[in-house]
Amino acid sequence: MPGPSTLSNLIEFFWRDGFSRIHEIQLEHRKKYGKIFKSRFGPQLVVSIADRGLVAEVLRAEGVAPQRANMESWHEYRDMRGRSNGLISAEGEDWLNMRSVLRQLIMRPRDVAVFSDDVNEVVDDLVTRVCALRAQESDGTTVLNVNDLFFKYAMEGVASILYECRLGCLETNVPQKTQDYIGALNLMFSSFKTTMYAGAIPKWLRPIIPKPWEEFCNSWDGLFKFSMIHVDKRFSDIKAQLQRGEEVKGGLLTHLLVTREMSIEEIYANVTEMLLAGVDTVGFIFLSNGHLPTSVKLNFPLHASQTKGSGTADDGMWRRRRRFGSLEAVCQKFLRLFPVLPGNGRIIQDDLVVGGYFIPKGTQLALCHYSTSLEEENFSDALEFQPQRWVRKDASDRVDNFGSIPFGYGIRSCVGRRIAELEMHLALIRLIQKFRIEVSPVTTEVKAKTHGLLCPSAPINLRFVDREN
C-alpha cells in the first residue's frame, strides 16, 4: 500500500505544524497516493480511506458496537481519575447500554422537538446580543469576532437542554463559573496537537515535557467539575421536591436522575462529553458560514415568507422539513464544504479487504470526509455553492451520498445530531427574519484550520442589517 514515509510524516506534522492542516494534507495525500494509503505516527499504523465507495464499504461492514480511534488519551485520563466513560468515549457493552438509554431521549426529531421552546429563549438572547454588539460599532451594523458570539450561543443552547438551566453565556457580564468552563474548553483545544496523536508521543517523554499532558488533564478536570456542579444541583432540587411530596417534572437530566438508568458517574461523563461535543459542533457549523460569500448563502431562497412562525414546539416549525427545504439545503451545503469533523477514526474489529488490500483486525482507519466531500466525482462543481442539490422533491426523494456524512453513519453516528440541527435551524430562521447578513468589509480572507475540528483560523466579522419588513 502506498503512503508517506515515517520520516516525512514526522517532518510534516511536528515541524510544519501539520496538525493544524490535517484537512489540506488529506487532499494532498489523496492526489499523491490515491484512494487508500498508509501512514505511520511513531508506533501507530493508520490506513486512510479517501473514497466515497470505500468509506461506504467500511461503514456498512461495522458490527453492533463500532470502536472509535484516537481515544487512548481520553481513556487514560478517566482511568487515572476514576471517571466513567460517556457515549463518545465508551466502547463495547458499556457504549451499547448508554446509547439505548439516550436513543429514547435525544436521537429522534420528535423527542428533541420538546426542547424548541428552551432553545428559542436562547435565540431571543442571541438576537438581543447581536443588537447590543453592533450598537458598539460606528456603522451600527458590524459585529466583530462572531466566533466568540456563536460559541457562546452554542454553549448556552446545549446547556439549556443538558442542564435544564441557563448559564449566562450571552449576558454582558458572563458568570465566573461559566468563564471557568470556557477557559477549560479553550485549554482542551490548545492541547489537541498532543492528544490527537497521543500514541505517537511516548509516555516516557512526559517527565521531560510535562506541560501538554498536564494541560489536557487540567482541562478535563475543569469540564467535569462544571458538569458535576450542575448535575448535583439538579439532583438536590429533585430530592427536595420529593421530600415535599411534589411531582417531579423536567427534561433530559431529570429523566436520567429519576430513572437511574445510568449511574451518577455515567451521568457526569455523558453530560460532560455531550456539552463539549455540542459546543464544538454547533459553534463550528455557524463559523463555517464565514468561509462563504455570506450575502449569497444566507439569502438563498430564504425569505420572510418561508420563515414565518415562532419556532415553538406547538408551532412545530423546525420539524416540518419540507417547508424549510431551502434552509436545510443551505445547512447541508455548509457541512459539505466545511465538515465539522474533517476525518473520523475507527479500529476495525475483524479482518477486512478494502480496495484490494487486506487490512488485519485491530488496524486504525482514518475516514477522510473532507477529501471525499470536495471530490468532483462525488459532487459536480464541488467548490460551488449549490444548496439546491440537497433539496428533496418529495418525501420519497433521498439525497444519500457517502461523500458527505458530517454527522457520521449508522449506529455510531453523532448522538447529538438532532440537538445541533435544532439549534442551527432555529437560530438561522430568527436571524434571517430580522437581519440581512453580510461579510463586513473589515474581514480579510479567513482560511480553515484543524483544531480537533475544522474551524476558522482568524476572527470573522459580519454585518447584521435590519430588514425593512
Average pLDDT for 210-228: 87
Average pLDDT for 126-134: 96
Residue 186 lies in a domain: yes
- Residues 209 and 241: beta-carbon distance below 8 Å: no
Integer Cα distance of 188 and 223 in angstroms: 9
> What does R_g of the chain's alpha carbons equal in angstroms?
22
Average pLDDT for 29-40: 93
Tell me 340's DSSP state: S
Residue 157 lies in a domain: yes
User: Does residue 310 sit in helix, strand or coil?
Assistant: coil
What pLDDT is attached to residue 147? 86
Q: Which three cell numbers stand for residue 373?
A: 466531500
CATH number for 127:
1.10.630.10
Per the structure, how many domains does the chain have?
1
Strands 364-367 and 44-49: parallel
Average pLDDT for 420-443: 85
236, pLDDT greater than 70? yes
Average pLDDT for 250-266: 93
Helix, strand, coil tally for the chain in percent (to 5): 55, 10, 35
Whole domain around residue 247: which residue ranges? 70-339+409-466
Residue 406 burial (10 A CB sphere; 0-12, 13-18, 19+): buried
Model confidence pLDDT, tens digit, residues 60-111: 999 888 988 878 888 999 999 999 999 989 999 999 999 999 888 888 778 8
Binding residues are: 414
What pLDDT is attached to residue 229? 93
Q: What is the mean pLDDT of the chain?
A: 82
Residue 31 lies in a domain: no
305, pLDDT greater than 60? no
Q: Among the residues of 211-250, which ranges form H helices?
A: 211-243
Residue 15 lies in a domain: no
Residue 143 lies in a domain: yes
Binding residues for heme are: 414
Residue 316 lies in a domain: yes
Q: Which three cell numbers stand for residue 48?
A: 486512510
360, pLDDT greater than 90? yes
What pLDDT is attached to residue 392? 55
Cα-Cα-Cα-Cα dihedral sign, residues 109, 85, 198, 357: negative
What pLDDT is attached to residue 300? 43
Most confident of 23-32, 40-49, 317-326: 23-32
Average pLDDT for 381-385: 67
